[in-house]
Amino acid sequence: MAGRWDDLWTNLRVATMVAGGAPYGAIEDGAIAVRDGRIAWVGPRAELPAHEARTTHDCAGRWATPGLVDCHTHLVFGGDRAREFEMRLGGATYEEIARAGGGIRSTVAATRVASLRDLVDAARPRLAALAREGATTVEIKSGYGLDIEAEARQLRAARALGAAGGPRVTTTFLGAHALPPEFTGRQGAYVDLVAGPMLDAIAAEGLADAVDCFAERIAFTPEETARVFSAARAKGLAVKLHADQLSDQGGAALAARFGALSADHVEFSSEEGVAAMAAAGTVAVLLPGAFYFLRERQLPPLEALRRHGVPIALATDANPGSSPLLSPLLAMNMAATLFRMTPEEALAGFTRNGARALGLAAETGTLEAGKAADIAIWDIERPAELAYWIARNPLHLALRGGIPMELRA
Ligand code: DI6
Ligand code: FE
């Protein structure tokens, strides 16, 4: 019959994460119908319309949430930075190591000599780790190539990972991440390259869904960031910003001025910056893994973000230097423990607001009819458990586009 559903997932408790209603947008005793990879119907089982489904799955009272969205990662890179971790434990700071030519630059050296195949092979298990905890959408940035060919190769690797059938991958060009060694003393010329020929090449090949910059004392100035953003916007590309992570650079307001999808980190952002983000609809992406691993002390301005109604997303920031974290669930726990976010805020951060930080709010991030059937099903008694357990993964099954992710791969 014409209106037949493909799958009916029933006997579920559903945390739709639709804002404004019950906590977690919860439906006790619900069901979700899927057709052609999209949610055809979601609601209380008692209101289920009479309809045929090819397959009905009894979920034994488990909880369903939107598939998780990890909206800020640097998953594709060569090498690792375990030695630098040892140096930091010996007393060196992250900024000192960066200034001495280590830090991001050491990952750049290892990434430049890696082939496309090497990069994909190294990143695949990292992406699989996120997927095992229910991530159905993952953003991946470049920023460890810092020349046209190596930046493009990183993004091609990210595209290849996205085509492999696991989580949906979105890509972000982060050419303005660090100054490559061959441009020492010529930072302006490097910014010209990033905003000009590098961005041209990346855009011509369709390799980037968005453009990011690292605006920081040890990276790029607000003026340099604005140059890159102007070029990106002229090409119709969305922008996002590593803003005010280590110092207040006015990054939040700068991101807002360019209508950025998100300003990320934002530990040092001012009240004015937060207000500007609220006015522009820019999402704050908080990254507790980096805060934890660098033992930062400046907490993000959570109270101001709440008061101004800025949507708050959370992400792993998975990267070799400041956040070697491959666990969305641990990031949620850290956000609750370190930032005092509620478990509901933490889950919204990895679902509804994470999707919004990627411009994907119409596609994923809540369980609503019409959206992609990106669904995580968990062996838990209440949604707060997702932020509560430390190193327990209660994922039962994750569907992307209605299909169990392990079957897609
Ligand atoms: N901020 C970060 O936390 C990461 N990038 C950035 O701009 C760190 C990247 C690294 O240390 O490799
Ligand atoms: Fe980052």
C-beta 285 within 6 A of ligand 1: no
- Residue 264 CA to residue 291 CA, distance in Å, equals 12
- Residue 213 CA to residue 221 CA, distance in Å, equals 10
Task: Report yes or no: 401 and 364 within 8 Å, Cβ to Cβ.
Answer: no
- Residue 16 CA to residue 24 CA, distance in Å, equals 7
pLDDT of 3? 73
C-beta 108 within 6 A of ligand 1: no
- The chain-wide mean pLDDT, for the chain, equals 96
- Global pTM exceeds 0.85: yes
- Residue 66 CA to residue 341 CA, distance in Å, equals 19
Average pLDDT across each block of 10 residues of the chain; the chain has 409 residues. List them in order. 85 97 97 98 96 96 98 97 91 87 91 98 97 98 98 98 96 97 97 98 98 96 98 98 96 98 98 98 98 96 98 98 97 98 98 98 98 98 98 97 81
The residue among 208, 144, 202 whose CA lies nearest residue 176 is 144
C-beta 214 within 6 A of ligand 1: yes
Structure-block tokens of residue 169: 């991958």
144 Cα nearest atom in ligand 1: 12
β-partners of residue 291 are: none
By the CB criterion, residues less than 5 angstroms from ion ligand 2 are 317
